[in-house]
Amino acid sequence: MTTPDPTNRDARARAITLLLAAAETGSEINALIRVALRAGFMWRCPTCRENHYADRETCCGKPRPDDA
pLDDT, residue 18, reads 93
Strands (E), 2-66: 42-44, 51-53, 58-59, 62-63
pLDDT, residue 1, reads 44
Q: How far is CA 12 from the centre of its chain?
A: 9
pTM of the model: 0.74
| Tens digit of each residue's pLDDT, the chain (68 residues) | 445 565 677 788 888 889 999 999 999 999 999 999 998 889 999 999 999 988 899 999 999 988 87
